[in-house]
């Protein structure tokens, strides 16, 4: 991408505007979204074919109340049972699903709820994803934290008591190199017991390097498993290449990562099919890498700055609850994260049923933790946020609220020897 995409708080150049218009109006100007770029590693895996075969053939209208009742009676949830539990026929059985999900959560996680916080260190991006606040054509304030600024943000977060951090960047190799991210992860190891990253997908050797820098787990959102919809939403950049993104978690595990996280962004396409594909993506990798820790997130599309090009498909709280209960019944050992995109009330309820991890003290902006945590205005430059959050509770408030629900908040349960 041209550098003029990255000019802070200035209008795009005429050339950039013309390129943007061409991408939006002329499909022939876009690269093949299924064809790897020269720098992208190809791996040989049957996981993608298995997942997509089930998703593409999934007709959720064919499932009946009898199928749902049978699924809930089975000791072990099969793929066909999962399809029934995600179908419209399961909506009247949400209470029964919640009871079953709560039992499974209790068996494998007790009453523990894990807490973490994200830290965005840069918001430059080289992709044109029409629904994202960071996309390269969006006129927002861009920022990349310097090493001393990253460390200052980490100190402030660590002083709050947080022990797990998720480091995020916009998807720009030129502005946020693997080495830059690796240095941030080394710094994070000074302050936190658990370090994750949510960055652009990289090759196996680069995941190995990040693991050596202190990264425990990698999270990648596929956004949507619908390849046609994906093509129409991701118009330019490395993210446009659908199969390379799909295989990111497997490359991370090949690179030595202890855990990986998965998600579709619910509301971009048919949420039932995306939920099925997300669960099966975990299911097949879990069988291939049984030692790995795996987790699912369930974000819904949120409002972003300067965006009128995406009309999200409605996914209501009841439907989100159905998805989470189905995830838990089908994948009883998998961690489930509910982000600050959701309301405090919903999060308080779902951790008693299916979810095992929540974020607290969240900011999706760049360089603003000091002002948000202290309540004082600072002179430091701040970068715009990726999306609006719904639950802004601090770690202290979140911790107390979890305890008030009769649950045990957990900041870290790993010992390093």
CATH, residue 364:
3.20.20.70
Q: What is the largest CA-CA distance in the chain?
A: 62
In a domain, 71, yes or no: yes
Domain-embedded: residue 223? yes
Q: What is the pLDDT of residue 379?
A: 52
pLDDT at 8: 39
Q: Is residue 416 a part of any domain in this protein? A: no
Q: Is residue 120 part of a domain?
A: yes
**Does 151 map to a domain?**
yes
**What is the structure's pLDDT at 11?**
60
**What's the structural domain count of the chain?**
1
User: What averages of pLDDT result for each successive group of 10 residues across the chain (417 residues)?
Assistant: 40 79 91 96 96 98 98 97 98 98 97 96 92 81 93 95 96 96 98 97 98 98 96 94 98 98 94 98 97 94 56 80 98 95 93 96 78 59 61 93 96 78
Residue 214 counted as domain residue: yes
Look at residue 415 and tell me if it is in a domain: no
The confidence score (pLDDT) of residue 359 equals 94
HSE toward the beta carbon, residue 42, CA cutoff 13 A? 6
* Backbone φ, ψ for residue 220 (5° rounding): -135, 125
- Tokens representing 269 are 């396409």
Structural domain including 173 reads 3-410
Strands 128-129 and 234-236: antiparallel
The whole-number pLDDT of residue 377 equals 58
Residue 41 lies in a domain: yes
According to the model, what pLDDT value does residue 6 have?
40
The structure tokens listed for 399 are 């911790």
């Amino acid at each position: 991408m041209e550098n003029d995409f990255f000019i802070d708080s200035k209008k795009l150049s005429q050339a950039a505007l013309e390129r943007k218009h061409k991408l939006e109006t002329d499909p022939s100007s876009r690269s093949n979204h299924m064809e790897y770029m020269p720098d992208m590693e190809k791996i040989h895996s049957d996981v993608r074919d298995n997942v997509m075969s089930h998703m593409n053939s999934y007709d959720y209208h064919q499932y009946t109340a009898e199928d749902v009742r049978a699924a809930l009676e089975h000791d072990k949830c099969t793929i066909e049972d999962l399809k029934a539990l995600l179908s419209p026929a399961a909506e009247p059985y949400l209470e029964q699903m919640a009871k079953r999900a709560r039992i499974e959560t209790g068996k494998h996680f007790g009453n523990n709820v894990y807490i973490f916080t994200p830290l965005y260190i840069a918001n430059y991006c080289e992709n044109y994803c029409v629904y994202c606040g960071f996309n390269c054509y969006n006129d927002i304030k861009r920022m990349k934290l310097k090493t001393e600024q990253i460390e200052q943000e980490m100190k402030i977060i660590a002083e709050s008591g947080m022990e797990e951090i998720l480091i995020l960047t916009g998807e720009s190799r030129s502005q946020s190199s693997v080495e830059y991210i690796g240095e941030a992860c080394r710094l994070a190891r000074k302050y936190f017991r658990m370090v994750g990253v949510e960055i652009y997908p990289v090759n196996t050797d680069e995941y190995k390097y990040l693991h050596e820098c202190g990264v425990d787990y990698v999270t990648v959102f596929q956004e949507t498993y619908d390849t046609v919809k994906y093509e129409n939403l991701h118009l330019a950049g490395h993210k446009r290449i659908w199969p390379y993104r799909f295989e990111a978690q497997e490359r991370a595990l090949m690179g030595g990562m202890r855990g990986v996280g998965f998600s579709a962004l619910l509301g971009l396409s048919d949420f039932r099919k995306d939920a099925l594909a997300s669960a099966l993506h975990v299911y097949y990798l879990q069988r291939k890498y049984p030692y790995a820790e795996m987790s699912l997130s369930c974000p819904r599309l949120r409002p972003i700055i300067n965006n009128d090009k995406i009309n999200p498909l409605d996914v209501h709280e009841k439907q989100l609850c159905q998805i989470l209960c189905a995830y838990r019944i089908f994948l009883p050992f998998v961690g489930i994260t509910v982000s600050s995109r959701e309301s405090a009330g919903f999060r308080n309820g779902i951790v008693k049923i299916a979810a095992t991890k929540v974020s607290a003290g969240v900011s999706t902006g760049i360089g603003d933790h000091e002002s948000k945590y202290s309540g004082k205005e600072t002179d430091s430059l701040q970068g715009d946020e990726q999306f609006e959050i719904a639950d802004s509770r601090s770690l202290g408030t979140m911790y107390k609220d979890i305890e008030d629900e009769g649950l045990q908040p957990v900041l870290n349960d790993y010992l390093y020897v």
